[in-house]
Amino acid sequence: MKIGIVGSGLVGATAAYAMVMNGIGRQIVLVDLNKERAQAEADDLYHAVPFASPLEITAGDYEDLAGCRVVIIAAGVGQRPGETRLQLLGRNATVFKQVVPAILNAAPDAILVVATNPVDIMTHLTARYAAQMGVSPDRVLGSGTMLDTARFRALLARHVGVDSRHVHAYVIGEHGDSEVLVWSMVAVGGVPLLEFCNDRGITWNDEIKAGIENRVRNAAYHIINGKGATYYGIGSALARVVDIILHDQRSILTICNPERNVAGVEDVTVAMPHMLGGNGVIGEHNPLSLTDEERSQLHHSASLIKGLITDLIE
């Protein structure tokens, strides 16, 4: 199976590395405006292959994406310290206008996975440009709040002392400042969080809750201040998305995909729990029983993204 990565900077190259180390796919093609960089990354990654799984990795041009099953789009300009994801919008929108048609001309059947921030808006734009070429929105998705959801689960899991794979919790909405942590639905092994803590004598209070929320919300800022960029988490998330598609796993993830209606906001793209399989996103997002407060937070988040999309398109 052939996978394309357009934009082989830190995120794109790390996604490729995660695929090599996990034996995902059979051939990876890196495309970047900076051809020297793409070639160097492909060579460096290829030297990891003997220590992992057999895979072919090359640098190429858009036409070399022909036959790709999935193409990850991680092209663009990185987030600067102190800059919000939304401030990246203008700088990255221009790049996508040429990148999306170029990919689809070469690989008309590919599923497009967007990682560039602000990911909700970039995914919305990608779906729009793809639709102009007859591609259904099911075949366009963004990494959304996969990472935020992973951070939320990991922190909850650490607090309750349970394998994070048995903690169910979602972060939905914008991948950014207005994201919504769905506290009301947190469950450990199917048991509501408060009940689980009470039964096991685990301390739970507003201070612990606020601490977890704060760490989930500010993780990206904290990492960018410390090392300039985030890429291991997102690179691993992208590799997982590719694996799910290649194996038609029907996994449920908080990815972003064009939505008809999110908490009363129409025609918007924000992260919601979606089932993902071999042909892309399956059906509408899963229904969530949100509290009134969560629904109003989600409405705010979706409205904010919708406003930016509208500004951008007009």
Residues known to be catalytic = 175
Give 155 or 242: the residue with its C-beta nearer to ligand ADP.
242
Q: Is 99 in the site for ligand ADP (CB under 6 A)?
A: yes
Distance (Å, whole) CA 243 – CA 190: 26
> Which stretches within 168-291 are classed as H helix?
193-200, 206-227, 232-246
| Residue from 23, 33, 80, 264 binding ligand ADP (CB under 6 A) | 33
Q: Is 37 in the site for ligand ADP (CB under 6 A)?
A: yes
Q: Is 309 in the site for ligand ADP (CB under 6 A)?
A: no
Give 92 or 297: the residue with its C-beta nearer to ligand ADP.
92
The answer to whether 27 and 5 are in contact (CB under 8 A) is no
Which of 309, 311, 253, 307 shows the shortest CA–CA distance to 282? 253
Q: Is 259 in the site for ligand ADP (CB under 6 A)?
A: no
Q: Is 11 in the site for ligand ADP (CB under 6 A)?
A: yes
Distance (Å, whole) CA 186 – CA 125: 32
Q: How far is CA 136 from CA 62, 162, 199, in A?
A: 21, 40, 47
CB atoms within 10 A of CB 50: 8
| Residue from 9, 233, 258, 273 binding ligand ADP (CB under 6 A) | 9
Give 6 or 241: the residue with its C-beta nearer to ligand ADP.
6
Distance (Å, whole) CA 35 – CA 39: 6
Q: Which of the ranges 8-16, 254-262, 289-297, 305-313 carries the binding residues for ligand ADP, by CB under 6 A?
A: 8-16
Site for ligand ADP in 38-77 (CB under 6 A): 74-76
Q: Which residues of 7-44 are buried (b: 16+ CB within 10 A; e: fewer)?
A: bbbbbbbbbbbbbbbeebbeebbbbbeeeebbbbbbee
Q: Is 270 in the site for ligand ADP (CB under 6 A)?
A: no
- Minimum Å gap between C-beta 40 and ligand ADP is 11
- Minimum Å gap between C-beta 156 and ligand ADP is 27
- Minimum Å gap between C-beta 75 and ligand ADP is 4
Q: Which residue's CB atom is positioned nearest to ligand ADP?
A: 9
Q: Is 6 in the site for ligand ADP (CB under 6 A)?
A: yes
Give 61 or 267: the residue with its C-beta nearer to ligand ADP.
61
254 class by beta-carbon count within 10 Å (0-12 exposed, 13-18 middle, 19+ buried): buried
3 state DSSP class of 308: helix
**Residues engaged in binding ligand ADP (CB under 6 A):** 6-12, 32-34, 37, 74-76, 78, 95, 99, 229, 231
